Copies of this chain bind each other. A is one copy, B any other.
């Protein structure tokens, strides 16, 4: 499962003592080849954590042999010392694995603005390396959890080759990407240009459309590593579809585990003039705190959907807008539609359709409700 479902990969997850509660906090993923192709996408936040700056650099070669991931600290906004720490982490992994530091990506997640306890992290890299196993994917997925209540893995197996992966993320989920660390692996024999193309195509319509709380992290990283161990080179479309399917599954798992959420909300924008319009409107709806509170209260408050649409620059006429909530067209032509009493909101999944009546493009954004539990969890996170 996880990152070791594909042949050619080993992984480990251990408790290095970075987290004060003693939970697992360090993961190592190694590509044993024969190929070491890799691609990555990173946060579009301009305040980038040290490990993001480092991993962007090493990815330029299109090659990666190992990924070190830690929870318990984001190593973001930590200045030159923070960057030195990331560098030292890569050096340590390189030394233990007998490779170059330029083949090692680093990912960190946790509180911003705190230096990592390197006296615990560096010995932890040695310990993890000693435990590398082709059955280690599950443990690696567990070690990258922060406020996640469950670890997230996904695997798609095709004709002789596999794409698998792990993800962490529960809050600060917003596009570009959706605050997460994700490592995907495949044993397909694919070069780094193809990996890059497939990964960008996949994240654009999956992780980039998960928007839990509108807050964009400093540490988002999604890596895709190919070992070539299956000795199969799939056609591009088939490969890209497998990568997209794994990203979509992991993205759904992120939303289902979003901090404090009691409802998963699928915001589907239809009949938009352009895909960009559909995405803009979908995000505006997904980020409307008042609507998210209403959904939490099982209140099909379509007026808040319209007021969110009204803040966008998308092409539409107010008196042609239609909104359905769980299949009931509660708003027709910008005004009162079917009886809102017909809307059944007892279930966890809520489906909002916003019809812009302006074209034939569509996009779906996933979000969740806003709850008192979200407030409680995020009032106390760093203290």
Interface of A toward B, CB cutoff 8 Å: 45-48, 74, 76-82, 111-115, 171-172, 176, 213-218, 287-290, 293-294, 296-299, 301-304, 306-312, 316, 318-319, 321, 331, 333-336, 370-372, 374-383
Contact = CB atoms under 8 A, between A and B. Distances in A.
B378 A375 contact: no
A113 B302 contact: yes
B78 A335 contact: yes
Contacts of A378: 289-290, 293-294, 297
A113 B45 contact: no
A309 B112 CA distance: 14
A176 B331 CA distance: 24
Chain A facing B: main interface SS: loop
A116 to B, nearest CB: 12
B215 A290 contact: yes
Given A74-B303, A82-B335, A293 B379 contact: yes
B303 A79 contact: no
Contact of A307 (B47, B310, B379, B380): B47
A215 B307 contact: yes
B334 A301 contact: no
A66 to B, nearest CB: 27
Contact of A216 (B81, B310, B321): B310
A135 to B, nearest CB: 36
A321 B77 CA distance: 10
A202 to B, nearest CB: 23
B303 A213 contact: no
Given A214-B289, A216-B310, A307-B218, A296 B379 contact: yes
A42 B49 CA distance: 41
